[in-house]
Amino acid sequence: MPQIKEILQTMDYGPSPEASDHVTAWLEKHSEGFTHFIDGAFVSPENVEFFEVSDPARATPLGCVAQGTTDDVGKAVDAARRAFRTWSKLPGHTRARYLYAIARHIQKRERFLSVLETMDNGKPIRESRDIDIPLVARHFYHHAGWAELIETEFPGHAPVGVCGQIIPWNFPLLMLAWKIAPALAAGNTIVLKPAEFTPLTALAFAEICREVGLPAGVVNIVTGDGRTGAALVEHPGVDKVAFTGSTEVGRLIRQETAGSGKKLSLELGGKSPFIVFDDADLDGAVEGVVDAIWFNQGQVCCAGSRLLVQEGVADRFHSKLKTRMETLRVGSPLDKSVDVGAIVAPVQLDRIRELVEKGKAEGGTMWQASTPMPENGCFFPPTLFTDVEPSSTVAEVEIFGPVAVSMTFRTPEEAIQLANNTRYGLAASIWTENVNLSLDVAARVKAGVVWVNCTNMFDAGAGFGGYRESGFGREGGREGLYEYLAPVWEKGLAKGQPAAKPDLSALPAERAAEGAAEGVALATSTPTIDRTAKLYVGGKQARPDSGYSYTVRNGRGEPAGQAGLGNRKDIRNAVEAAAKASSWGGVTAHNRAQVLYYLAENLQTRSAEFEARLASLTGVSPEAAAEEVGAAIRRTFWYAAWADKFDGHVHATKSRHVTLAINEPWGVVGVVCPDEAPLLGFVSLVLPAIAMGNRVVAVPSASQPLLATDFYQVLDTSDVPAGVVNIVTGESDALAKVLADHDEVAALWYVGSAEGSAAVEKASAGNLKATWVSHGRSRNWLSASEGQGRDYLRHATQVKNIWVPYGE
């Protein structure tokens, strides 16, 4: 023990270990191995295969955990299914009481859970104690509130069913809370698989569920590795899969669940920009970097790992940052004076080392603090790379370690360009004292969470989730609840009769029925002037690239005209035109509303023509045709009305913070229209998308495309800017596949066959675009509850949460 006199010379902090005896006792109690928690009980350890879980800081084993088999997963899903029958029917208030009890019990076990989390994961006790576990409790409290309010706040919605949830190792219990709390509040039951590196707090949570008397089967925890996760994803009894983890695995899950009808939310990787403007509080921003990339050893999906610093202050900023790095303390995560703990596992450490080596080999300048490093265990020092460019591997790839890369920019324009130069879009941090600049950048950066003059702020009341390949769906807040609810109307849709595949023959047909093409019976020997329906791309009529047209037949199967046989190049051109029309998302909502009203006006002017066309082409009665056209006009009005009213929220998070949840358009949305209701179906899908500021590439009904091609004349006369709506006719499923494969398309709606839906979902994994498919179920387009609604608007937008702390 050093003398007081000596310490007075060194003024060291000395050791400050958090006691772990309670956790050690708990681990000893379970020394025979932890088993799954299924149907309200821990299963018997007989015939169970175990794997070891270790403390990464000390490289010592903590215990053995069961490797979940397909059979285990099956039992858990069955238990959840049984429990769902009663749990989902409970009054929200009753579920609220359970969630409240869980929140309370987590608070009562706060220190136990903190210490356990730190031992299992390697994160500093300060973080588990001050951040993770308090946020866990907060999440359950917040969602106890949602359970109470679910019936009144989410009318027309029902729980999804049995949720399969797979969580990562970086925030084990917090990610569990993010998954379980909203699912339970909404009335779902759960099978959760914690990460193989860090399953222990989930098992402690299972004990808490038992302690509070949560009904058996409502929460089931099955431990294991990726194979267990795969079994859960594949299980046909699962109605919803929620996954947080790597983009690679997210992609696999998207492919695996394609066509299954399982609802899916993915919270994936990131390479989030941290933008420092020259008028920022530089010292504040330096601390921001500490919280961004040296929080949880940088093993944070939303870590601000890509620093973008305005060139004029870059030297000064880097110098301040390097000075700050010197005072970061790396060491035993149970020590209360440690900033950076252990990397979760050796395999992760190897990956970090490999990428850092690559960064050096590619010419990056590496800076590491001279802070003393522990001799054993999984540790990596805080690291900064300068002299990197967007083309450097370390600037592009998610390292998931305490490694920041820094680049410079000259203007706000360039900062945004660099910030968005990534396939990800999870978070962004913006540092400037200029409110104009901060909000401008916040609006233009492609990220689901934007922090102004702060970083890594979390609250149960705000939504969290990514744009682009960072996934889709939100966790937290009102927007997060929708991931665990299904609209009753959509749940109730029946499988439709699969429409007969139209013969899209490019060969000349027999003689057209007289007047068929125009729908007006003309008894004259003078032929009507031939009409050519083209594709509609970038505000112009375009011939199909293929040079082929196909015969469109009327309800009696007689040739009634021709439509262009669009191909992948036509889709390419249409997407390009749509991408160019980006200013549509920036015009005022009032302006978009005006355009939509004008559309309704012009459609009404030509309603007789559309009615006649519908009747002649589809063979419906004039009354039915009039009803469809009338509904289309009304629907256009309806979305015009919504254009400036689908507001976001201001979430109540922390004091002196404005947290804005803004509904933003996706950008380019693909819309594949149904065969039935060829006009109304088209209008019902295209209009909500453009009302919210998206640009659309629409593939109309293949058998009846001429209503859509007639419609482009209405678009032309209604001041719809070029590129906002693009129409490509042809074979729907083939064109849908091209849209699904296109990385510039951010979201894709498909109404058609079950096979087509599966193909779209599968192909969408490429850039993880959000999809909304019908799975072969048909809806009544005339119905106001099925053919229109807020759900359409919700699918037309993604929520961006912008955090702005204030105070002078």
Rule CB under 8 A: which residues touch other proteins? Answer: 1-5, 7-8, 10-16, 126, 130, 279-285, 287-288, 291, 327, 336-337, 339, 433, 453-454, 656-657, 805-808
What token pair was written down for 482?
């929708």
User: Which residues are CB-contacts of 407 (< 8 A; sequence separation ≥ 6)?
Assistant: 306, 307, 308, 309, 388, 389, 390, 395, 418
- The nearer residue to other proteins, 90 or 328, going by C-beta atoms, is 328
Indicate if the alpha-carbon torsion angle 739, 745, 746, 748 is positive or negative: negative
- The nearer residue to other proteins, 99 or 340, going by C-beta atoms, is 340
HSE-up of residue 207 (Cα within 13 Å, Cβ side)? 13
In DSSP terms, 665 is beta-bridged to 797
H helix count then E strand count, the chain: 28, 31
- The nearer residue to other proteins, 428 or 563, going by C-beta atoms, is 428
β-strands 60-66, 189-193 pairing = unpaired
β-strands 668-672, 403-409 pairing = unpaired
What token pair was written down for 533?
């329906």
For helices 706-717 and 589-605, give the axis angle rounded to 10 degrees. 120
Alpha carbon of residue 407 to chain centroid:
27
What token pair was written down for 553?
């037949």
267 is catalytic: yes
**89, exposed or middle or buried, with CB in 10 Å at 0-12, 13-18, 19+?**
exposed
User: Which residues are CB-contacts of 704 (< 8 A; sequence separation ≥ 6)?
Assistant: 552, 617, 618, 675, 678
- The nearer residue to other proteins, 125 or 427, going by C-beta atoms, is 125
- The nearer residue to other proteins, 337 or 717, going by C-beta atoms, is 337
Distance in Å, CB of 17 to other proteins, minimum? 8
CB 551 within 8 A of CB 513: no
What token pair was written down for 628?
């469809």
Distance in Å, CB of 170 to other proteins, minimum? 20
Select from 451, 446, 483 the least CA-distant residue to 466. 446
CA distance 102 to 105: 5
Phi, psi of 535 (to 5 degrees): -80, 165
Distance in Å, CB of 582 to other proteins, minimum? 32
HSE-up of residue 429 (Cα within 13 Å, Cβ side)? 29
Distance in Å, CB of 2 to other proteins, minimum? 7
Enclosing H/E stretch for 512: none
CA distance 183 to 242: 10
- The nearer residue to other proteins, 14 or 622, going by C-beta atoms, is 14
CA distance 79 to 546: 55
Distance in Å, CB of 205 to other proteins, minimum? 25
Residue indicated by tokens 């929620």: 242
- The nearer residue to other proteins, 325 or 706, going by C-beta atoms, is 325
Kindly name the residue from 267, 483, 611, 786 that is annotated as catalytic.
267
How does DSSP classify residue 17?
B
What token pair was written down for 49?
């295969």
Alpha helix (H) ranges present in 167-295? 172-185, 200-212, 226-234, 247-257, 282-293
- The nearer residue to other proteins, 2 or 586, going by C-beta atoms, is 2
- The nearer residue to other proteins, 282 or 485, going by C-beta atoms, is 282
- The nearer residue to other proteins, 19 or 59, going by C-beta atoms, is 19
Looking at the chain, how many residues does it have?
808
- The nearer residue to other proteins, 283 or 413, going by C-beta atoms, is 283
Q: Is 224 helix (H, G, I), strand (E, B) or coil?
A: coil
- The nearer residue to other proteins, 450 or 512, going by C-beta atoms, is 450
The amino acid that residue 657 corresponds to is: H
Distance in Å, CB of 7 to other proteins, minimum? 4
Distance in Å, CB of 288 to other proteins, minimum? 7
Per 3-state DSSP, what percentage of the chain is helix, strand, and coil (rounded to 5)?
A: 40, 20, 40
Distance in Å, CB of 371 to other proteins, minimum? 13
User: Which residues are CB-contacts of 155 (< 8 A; sequence separation ≥ 6)?
Assistant: none
CA distance 332 to 55: 11
CA distance 759 to 706: 26
User: Which residues are CB-contacts of 460 (< 8 A; sequence separation ≥ 6)?
Assistant: 135, 138, 139, 141, 142, 143, 181, 476, 477
Q: Is 380 helix (H, G, I), strand (E, B) or coil?
A: coil
- The nearer residue to other proteins, 104 or 324, going by C-beta atoms, is 324
CA distance 366 to 349: 17
Question: DSSP E strands: which ranges in 393-454?
Answer: 403-409, 427-431, 449-452
Residue indicated by tokens 């050690």: 24
For helices 568-580 and 732-741, give the axis angle rounded to 10 degrees. 50
CA distance 188 to 205: 18
The catalytic site residues sit at: 267
